[in-house]
Amino acid sequence: MSGPLTGIRVVELAGIGPGPHAAMMLSDLGADVVRVVRPSTPESDYAMTSHVLRGRTVVFADLKDAGDVARVRALVARADVLIEGFRPGVAERLGLGPGEFTVDNPGLVYGRMTGWGQTGPLASSAGHDINYISLTGVLDAIGPAGSPVPPLNVVGDYGGGSMFLVTGILAALVERHASGAGQVIDAAMLDGVGALTQPINELRAMGVWHDGRAANLLDGAAPFYRTYACSDGRHVAVGAIEPQFYALLVAGLGLDAADLPDQHDRSSWPELAATFSAAFGARDRDHWTGVFDGTDACVTPVLGFAEAPTHPHVAARGSLVAAGPDVVAASAPRFSRTPGRAAEGTTPRVRALEEVVRDWGG
């Protein structure tokens, strides 16, 4: 076991989505993470196969059984962090709310992961990533002009959810060194996505961002910041915003800048996009990959998940690793002295709850 969080003990009350993802990142960073799963449920099957559960110990406990709850509480009493993703009030009803540990474990960092947060009119309502990003303005800004398109749930669940939960946990652990006290973290995907939008809100305040879709520099409207189809039906991504990068894009496409409208003339963007589209569409994706490889034109192939691990740069860093038919992501970020765990495959260790309690000093 290695990583900057070596020695930190985490108990994760099993759930899906950002909670397990946050626990995965803590495990990748070296923490000892124990996932408590209810037996004889579909989730117990999920617990045995999910890639996100790497590096974990799995124990089974019936949280409606007083004896099992007592054993889980004994485990949490010796933990540094607890992660739960229930609706507000559920953990308290199970006898596992933060108030249960203020005496036995006053230094516990109690991480709560929800979509809407612990308070507010929607706190007890169901929701998914698409709902959380719809109320923050993000969904309205993604997709073609005619209709919003939900992105992968990396935006709400993981960008706005698990990443902010991990940030809160790490901050609380640092603060505990000074105070000796733990605290409760209310991590809401709604709040996290809102924080992620701050740069766009700034652009709106400056008057350089227009509400709606396909109308701005970074939402696909600009001909030099979008994707293009190639002759083989695959795509390239173009991000040539700066003038020096744009010049390399134009040259690589075999076009004469003198024949093109000004890069930042919005009225000419449709014409310029049509020109670029015709050029990219004349050859296959790998041709353009070769043309722009090693240049600063900011043109890259759009790779599928299966292709991504084979890209020379991705492979050199080991960012994504092919494991048979599967793709496994390496731990991130990287550290100079205390490297996190390497990807350990997809199967967590299964142990008896009593054994883990005993090993943790119970």
Structure tokens at 195: 């924080």
Structure tokens at 29: 């960073």
Integer Cα distance of 235 and 286 in angstroms = 10
The enclosing H or E element of 313 equals helix 312-317
Integer Cα distance of 160 and 15 in angstroms = 17
Question: For residue 36, with 0-12 CB atoms within 10 Å meaning exposed, 13-18 middle and 19 or more buried, which class applies?
Answer: buried
Integer Cα distance of 286 and 197 in angstroms = 34
Coil, strand, or helix at residue 72?
A: helix
Integer Cα distance of 143 and 253 in angstroms = 26
How many separate helices (H) and strands (E) can be counted in the chain?
13, 12
Asked if 32 is an active-site residue, the reply is: no
Integer Cα distance of 223 and 217 in angstroms = 9
Asked if 284 is an active-site residue, the reply is: no
Structure tokens at 177: 């060194």
Catalytic residue among 28, 32, 80, 157: 157
The bridge status of strand 184-188 relative to strand 225-229 is unpaired
Q: Among all residues, which ones are annotated catalytic?
A: 128, 157
